[in-house]
Amino acid sequence: MQLNGVTLVDRFNRPSVNGKVAVRTLFINDGKFIDPYDVSACTIFAKLSNASPSSIVDVDDGLIKSDATSVVLMNFEISGDPNNVTTDSGAHTGVDPYVTSKRMLPPTADHPQWNPAYVPGPQASGIYRVGVGDYVAVLDGDVGLSGGYNIRYPFNGGITVANTASSVQDYIDVWTVKLSVDSEYQLFINNFSLYNDTFTTITEPLLITTRNRLLNKKLRYGEKVDLKITTDITVQNSTLPEETKNILKDYPITNPKIMVKKVNDDSVNQEAWTPRWGVDQDATTTTDNTILYSFDTDDAGNLGAGTYFITAKYSYLTQDFVTPPYYFTIT
């Protein structure tokens, strides 16, 4: 994924200890992505030392133990400026209106926006909202990253934690979240691993081919679905060992773009197709290099029922690829 134009490595794409790792989580309720009432922190621990939740979770309130400070490897919190009186950006206190559901959504006159743009550096220890229910912290092993840790401390009375999640091992990321205004804070625990850099050398130019396939062929008017384009990567160099080929195929595709056009039945009196939008649209990718594009068949930019086609552009290593048009219908 990209954050403010900076390319990040997803947690499942074998991130290295020196890379910028997207420690990302998505919140779902009743089958829909939702923004929690308040996202408080994302705390990193070593998995080996904390294989059992009881090692860090307090049995009384279900939050991180007060004596877990010594084993916190890194902590990310909300970037609210408590001193900016001009815009009343406020500090993140977890009390209305200084909660993420009020200050990380599009700003209003009563509730200016927090969520500053991500800029890499030692200070970039915030949590960023990149979509509905979609939050990410950036574990950057290339800088001397540090973050504030305020759990179990009085407001603004916490400590600074220097990032020590910098070795090849398994980790857990613990999200402290309040799902609704009437609920209590609770923990959500995920896993990720850091790996050695996969340096490799080759003795000839790479022969790369890619093959794509659209999985959605028939849509119904009124649906809002992700159009899915799979990507298979083949390294054709016969002289390369299989382990080198596998390392190369593990690299993610980047900069995916989508163009959707409708095929006009009357191509005599009008153009053969009509673009849904005038420019390429940003798309996202999964860890297996499947391109996803959210397509709302009832959106004003769509052109009703009929035959459409979609093309995708993306980059892989030093090459740029464009797929052939894939046709689908809306009935």
> Which is higher by pLDDT, 117 or 99?
99
pLDDT at 273 over 50: yes
DSSP H helical ranges for the chain: 100-103, 242-249
Domain map of the chain by residue range? 2-193, 208-330
What integer pLDDT is reported at residue 165 of this predicted model?
A: 93
CB contact at 8 A, 170 and 47: yes
pLDDT at 112 over 60: no
What integer pLDDT is reported at residue 196 of this predicted model?
A: 82
Whole-prediction pTM: 0.73
Residue 269, token pair as written in the block: 């009196």
* Adjacent-strand bridge partners of 118: none
Residue 193, token pair as written in the block: 């691993």
Predicted confidence band at 113 (pLDDT cuts at 50, 70, 90)? low
Please report, as a single letter, which amino acid is at residue 31.
G
Least confident piece of the model among 54-68, 79-93, 211-225: 79-93
Question: Which CATH architecture is the domain 208-330 placed in?
Answer: Sandwich (2.60)
How far apart are the C-alpha atoms of 304 and 297, rounded to whole Å? 7
pLDDT tens per residue across span 77-110: 886 544 443 444 567 777 877 888 877 766 555 5
What integer pLDDT is reported at residue 114 of this predicted model?
A: 62
